[in-house]
Structure 1
Amino acid sequence: MSRLRGLVADTRPLRNDHFRRLWRANIITVIGAQLTVVAVPAQIYADTGSSAYVGLTGVFGLVPLVVFGLWGGALADVFDRRTLLVFSTLGLIVTSALFWVQAAVGSTNVWLLLSLFAVQQAFFGINQPTRSAVLPRILTPDLLPAANALNTTVFMAGGIAGPLVAGALIPVIGLEWLYLVDSITLLATLGAVVRLPPLPVAGSTGKPPGLRSVVEGFGYLRGQPVLLMSFAVDLIAMVFGMPRALFPEIANESFGGPEAGGLAFALLFAAIPAGAVVGGVFSGWVSRVSAQGRAVIVCIVVWGLAVVVFGVAVGIAGSSTSLRTTMLVVAVVALAVGGAADTASSAFRNAMLQAAASDEVRGRLQGIFIVVVAGGPRVADVAHGAAAATVGTAVAAGGGGVLVVVLTVAAAVLVPSFVRYRVSLPTATVVEADPEPEAPGGQTPSRPRT
């Protein structure tokens, strides 16, 4: 029994009142947010009948997320982070309510819908780096990997449950009520955020940040090879090893599914988040790893190898119809293993970023982190699509996995300080948030060693 407790998720961060309230609220709001993620493209397609208009959600979503993710991080290094979370959460509630209003009155103006989506993503861009920058103020460094694993598990579980619930409810209650549900569930997050203590940034001038402040965040990274590497290896993993753009073609041509949808299609898209959820449930080990740099390298290599196996399975299925079912199982399991490895990698990388960076730049670095996380897979969509048109889906996917392994190992050799990065694991682990800008509980948390 004790061995099993050591395998399942480390729930010690939930002993902290502030983190527990935020995490519980996130369970509700993530599902609500996913309802809107599904409802917006569904409404656009219903209004226009055009996939081209649906595709515009990528542009209208990514651009404000990048711009306000970076600027929001800069804001989080100047203003009280609790106040910023309250403001951005209210913005998300209002935009979700406006989605409901435009759907309820029967609006078919696609540009209004896309504009509301862009505004929503702007508020999200401010909210997320601020939320992540808060964690080191309410938890000690040894609990950050576990906290990030718990957050990732909820996010991935919402990514599975949200679309399933939305798909079932749209024909029954209509799109407008999905938007209203999103607005209501966000009230749980607002309640948790309001109950946080004041979280001012030590040494802040209180002046609104400009472009120079954002640039200074990138400048800080230049002098921090360990943190810079955490971004570099994530980009390697996502750009070369995320073959999701190929799933529709693979489901149809390699596994014999219909041109639109089908079981193989659904399984491929669900495999990575499902594996991530399982990895999160059994993430108890992450809190016992002090060599976090080495752990990130191992996790990303596992991700790359899983994608290689996926590519091989796709190639075999495409050349042998009798093995399609077996290879579909292999492909789905490989993607699930990759998803579990990505959960651990994300937990360690985010913990490194939260603990190793000084408090006055945490917000800006979290903004960069959000941009990398959001932008990497989108670059991968373009790269894999172009590669598949030339060499086929199996080679594009499997070859990308090989590149992940090779480039990650090369990066580890070139920056040995990243591999040597370790944190101490103090005995005292849980403290209550201090309303002052100093370390939690008035203690000085142990600093990571590089």
Structure 2
Amino acid sequence: MWLAGLVTVFGSFLTFIALPLQLKELTGSALAVGAVGAVELVPLIVFGLYGGALADAMDRRKLILWTEAGLAVLSAMLLLNTLLPHPMIWPLYVVAALVSALTGLQRPALQAIVPRIVAHEQLPAAIALNSMRWQLGAIVGPSLAGIVIAFAGLPLAYGLDVATFVVSLVLTAGLSPSPASHDAEKPSLRGIVEGARYAWGRKELLGTYAVDLAAMFFAMPTAIFPFLADELHAPWALGLMYAAGAVGSLTVSLTSGWVSRVHRHGRMVVLAAAGWGAAMAVAGWLDNIWTVLFFLAVAGGCDTVSGLFRSAIWDQTIPDELRGRLAGIELLSYSVGPQLGQVRAGGMATLTGVRTSVWAGGLACVAAVGLLAVSLPKLMAYDQRTDPHAEAMRRRKAAEAAGPGAVAEAA
């Protein structure tokens, strides 16, 4: 599954760069390019929640396979449109919305299947590996996309994306079936509400969602990086600014052996999110491009630390029968925040200036995270060694390893 995701992430970054570039070439409008984010948001929210319910109600392997096949078809549609004598604009928006919908359906299943195939005590390591996979793609993918598009054109970029989905399908087909629990209900609004009610009742879980939303909303300035590069008189460094965060993230993932020795996961979520905001604030104050890049990398590393411990809390404490629905809620927490953060950064930059938008957003992030830490003491007190939900999951995993009789006894 890790290899399948690694192959797919490279192909997806090809399309991630190619689609807005094609829109720019066809329309010449920045507004038309920015509208892609708008058409993606609603399908992601709706199908992310429904995908979580599906992941609890059907075989997760089948759901991953079918959505991966659908994503391959959508990439093929982009390729066919590009090969037309006069490529059309509307299919780009339609495909962007459908890709967002299928991603919303797929990601909860991808996340929910991990605790089934990884031992409980090895989940933090698995989370770090998955994070590293994305970071490798975030660094190498855009660079590869730029080279492919510049020297071979958009058709090859879309064609390579289709090829990566085919490889991913072959690898994913090798997974064992991952059927729903025997008492799983059909996907329904009531089931989605049940998952939301469970999350609301677990204040440490609620805290992880709230901290991530606050951090991304206040301190996610990537939308204004082109303008920041101009203000720093370093337009040549724009690509480095986009890659700096991923470099910091990759550094953390490659040195993440220490994660398994930390038990107060809630505190680490809060401290790392505050570090993300503080690093962004410093980057907004500085004039030297190299120190700005350094603190953008520090921010990326802090974001990864927070993400590792958020995922550890999720994967080590949520019951399997709710895992998909909670993964759908998690998808919203780490996807909607960045989308809204781009709007915040752009709007504030228009009103107050680019650099003010960056440093003020960073300070607002620190303040918001601090307020949440005070308001959610259960998050700060969380300890995976003594938390009753984590202990119940450990007993359940041990019982599953011992056999069906032990599972019934543990339940």
- TM-score normalised by length of structure 1: 0.83
Tell me the amino acid that sits aligned with residue 351 of structure 1.
A
Q: Any conservation in 2 of the 1:149–1:344 contact (CA below 8 Å)?
A: no
SS at match of 1:69: helix
Q: Any conservation in 2 of the 1:226–1:421 contact (CA below 8 Å)?
A: yes
For residue 364 of structure 2, what is the aligned residue in structure 1?
Answer: 403
Do structure 1's residue 144 and structure 2's residue 117 form an aligned pair?
A: no
Do structure 1's residue 112 and structure 2's residue 91 form an aligned pair?
A: yes
Tell me the amino acid that sits aligned with residue 42 of structure 1.
L
User: How far is the alpha carbon of 1:394 from its aligned partner?
Assistant: 2.8
Do structure 1's residue 129 and structure 2's residue 108 form an aligned pair?
A: yes
For residue 245 of structure 1, what is the aligned residue in structure 2?
Answer: 223
Residue deviations 1:119-154, cap 9 Å, x none?
A: 122111111111000011111232222211211121
Q: Any conservation in 2 of the 1:78–1:201 contact (CA below 8 Å)?
A: yes
User: How far is the alpha carbon of 1:238 from its aligned partner?
Assistant: 0.7
Q: Any conservation in 1 of the 2:219–2:365 contact (CA below 8 Å)?
A: yes
For residue 22 of structure 2, what is the aligned residue in structure 1?
Answer: 43
SS at match of 1:59: helix
Residue deviations 1:168-201, cap 9 Å, x none?
A: 1113222112112111112232223222222122
**Separation in 2 of the partners of 1:388 and 1:289?**
38
Residue deviations 1:312-336, cap 9 Å, x none?
A: 21xxx2xxxxxxxxx2111111110
Pairwise mapping of residues 27-426 of structure 1 onto structure 2 (< 5 A)? 27-205=6-184, 207=186, 209-253=187-231, 255-257=232-234, 262-313=235-286, 317=287, 327-424=288-385
Residue deviations 1:58-113, cap 9 Å, x none?
A: 12222222221111111101111111111111111111122222222345211122
Residue deviations 1:273-299, cap 9 Å, x none?
A: 121111211111112211111111221
**Separation in 1 of the partners of 2:97 and 2:402?**
39
Tell me the amino acid that sits aligned with residue 93 of structure 1.
A
Do structure 1's residue 24 and structure 2's residue 3 form an aligned pair?
A: yes
The change in CA–CA distance for 1:154 and 1:106 in structure 2 (over 3 A counts) is farther
**Separation in 2 of the partners of 1:294 and 1:405?**
14
SS at match of 2:384: coil
SS at match of 1:85: helix
SS at match of 2:57: coil
The change in CA–CA distance for 1:373 and 1:440 in structure 2 (over 3 A counts) is farther
Residue deviations 1:374-396, cap 9 Å, x none?
A: 11112111222222333333332
Which has more helix, going by share of residues?
Answer: 2
**Separation in 1 of the partners of 2:372 and 2:160?**
45
Structure 1 residue runs without a partner (length 5+): 1-21, 318-326, 426-435, 446-450
Aligned length: 395
For residue 13 of structure 1, what is the aligned residue in structure 2?
Answer: none
SS at match of 1:290: coil
**Separation in 1 of the partners of 2:210 and 2:378?**
14
The change in CA–CA distance for 1:373 and 1:441 in structure 2 (over 3 A counts) is farther
**Separation in 2 of the partners of 1:439 and 1:190?**
29
**Separation in 1 of the partners of 2:103 and 2:81?**
20
User: How far is the alpha carbon of 1:205 from its aligned partner?
Assistant: 4.2
Tell me the amino acid that sits aligned with residue 185 of structure 1.
T
Tell me the amino acid that sits aligned with residue 256 of structure 1.
H
**Separation in 2 of the partners of 1:81 and 1:440?**
20
Mean Cα deviation higher: 86-95 or 42-51: 42-51
Tell me the amino acid that sits aligned with residue 214 of structure 1.
I
Q: Any conservation in 2 of the 1:79–1:201 contact (CA below 8 Å)?
A: yes
- TM-score normalised by length of structure 2: 0.90
